[in-house]
């Protein structure tokens, strides 16, 4: 079907598809100081608009709105049908506190009262 449509119509349809994906997704990727909207996200990678960024590699942070979700290591990126498809080697959940290096007892007190 795409061989029967003019190039302008195909470009318009592609732009409308990208705009719809951007509007539905709240996910963002942060690389240094730059922030890009994620069009699609799956377990081993994500895709970005190829017009905004041409190449991505290294450590990135993924946010849902203002909430930090993951810290990911992007090892490969390639352009497919107007999208920059990024492959992740690892994806670590972001925590709001440092992990414990000991086992916390379930019956341990939450806090101590000062002596008088």
Q: Where are the domains of the chain?
A: 7-93
Least confident of 1-5, 27-31, 73-77, 85-89: 1-5
Return the pLDDT at 66.
Answer: 85
Tell me if 37 sits within 8 A of 47, measured CB to CB. no
Predicted structure pTM score: 0.65
Q: Please give the structure tokens belonging to residue 31.
A: 């690389």
- Mean pLDDT score across all residues of the chain: 84
Q: 86-104, pLDDT tens digit by residue?
A: 999 998 888 877 777 888 8
Handedness of CA 11, 12, 13, 15 (dihedral sign): positive
Return the pLDDT at 22.
Answer: 60
Return the pLDDT at 63.
Answer: 93
- The position carrying tokens 């990135």 is 60
- Closest C-alpha among 14, 11, 36, 13 to residue 25: 36
Burial class from Cβ neighbours inside 10 Å (0-12, 13-18, 19+) for residue 109 reads exposed
Strand runs labelled E in 65-103: 67-80, 83-93
- CATH number for the region 7-93 comes to 2.40.10
Q: 18-42, pLDDT tens digit by residue?
A: 777 666 668 899 988 999 999 889 9
- The position carrying tokens 């996910």 is 27
């Amino acid at each position: 079907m795409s061989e029967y449509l003019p190039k302008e119509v195909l470009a318009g349809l592609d732009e409308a598809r990208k705009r719809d994906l951007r509007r539905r997704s709240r996910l963002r990727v942060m690389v240094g100081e730059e922030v890009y909207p994620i069009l699609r996200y799956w377990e081993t990678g994500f895709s970005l608009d190829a017009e905004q960024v041409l190449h991505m590699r290294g450590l990135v942070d993924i946010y849902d709105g203002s909430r930090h979700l993951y810290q990911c290591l992007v090892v490969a990126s390639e352009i497919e049908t107007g999208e920059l498809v990024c492959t992740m080697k690892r994806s670590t959940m972001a925590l709001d506190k440092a992990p414990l290096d000991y086992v916390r007892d379930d019956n341990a007190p939450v806090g101590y009262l000062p002596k008088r």
